[in-house]
């Protein structure tokens, strides 16, 4: 059982770290006003999330994954419409959700008790 917990924590951390890197890339594109590329990357992020969320649902709280899905979808629309403020707000919301999930999944006395 402990092996499964350790393995699932590491898997989630790898997946979410990959998402953080992609979000950082999208943020740089938005700051540089490269909307077409940001839209493409946002859509790729959404497609990747849809593929990964199937596996993540087995481990994480569904409300967290549902909110992530909604925010990533919003991000794709905001970047397509060139909404800087909304795009960055959604992007940072997704980043904060990732941080919350990673911190909530870490094996620590605080999370176990």
Classify residue 1: in a domain, yes or no.
Answer: no
* Contact present, 38 and 30 (Cβ < 8 Å): yes
DSSP string, 5-57: HHHHHHHHHHHHHHHHHHHHHHHHHHHTT-HHHHHHHHHHHHHHHHHHHHHHT
Q: Tell me the chain's radius of gyration from C-alpha atoms.
A: 15
Higher pLDDT, 104 or 40: 40
pLDDT tens per residue, range 23-55: 999 999 999 999 999 999 999 999 999 998 887
User: pLDDT-based confidence at 11, cuts 50/70/90?
Assistant: confident
* The total number of structural domains that make up the chain: 1
Mean pLDDT along residues 54-67: 82
Classify residue 10: in a domain, yes or no.
Answer: no
Angle between helices 35-56 and 62-80 (to 10 degrees): 170
Q: Which residues, in sequence order, are CB contacts of 41 under 8 Å at separation 6+?
A: 22, 25, 26, 29
- Read off the pTM: 0.84
Q: Give the separation between CA 10 and CA 83, rounded to whole angstroms.
A: 35
Classify residue 100: in a domain, yes or no.
Answer: yes
CATH number at residue 21: 1.20.120
Classify residue 9: in a domain, yes or no.
Answer: no
């Amino acid at each position: 059982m402990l092996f499964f917990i350790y393995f699932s924590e590491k898997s989630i951390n790898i997946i979410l770290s990959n998402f953080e890197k992609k979000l950082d890339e999208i943020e740089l594109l938005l700051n540089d006003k490269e909307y077409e590329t940001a839209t493409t990357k946002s859509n790729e992020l959404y497609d990747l999330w849809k593929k990964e969320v199937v596996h993540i649902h087995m481990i994480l709280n569904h409300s967290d994954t549902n909110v992530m899905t909604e925010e990533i979808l919003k991000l794709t629309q905001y970047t397509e419409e060139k909404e800087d403020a909304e795009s960055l707000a959604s992007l940072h919301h997704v980043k904060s959700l990732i941080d919350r999930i990673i911190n909530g999944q870490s094996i620590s006395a605080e999370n176990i008790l």
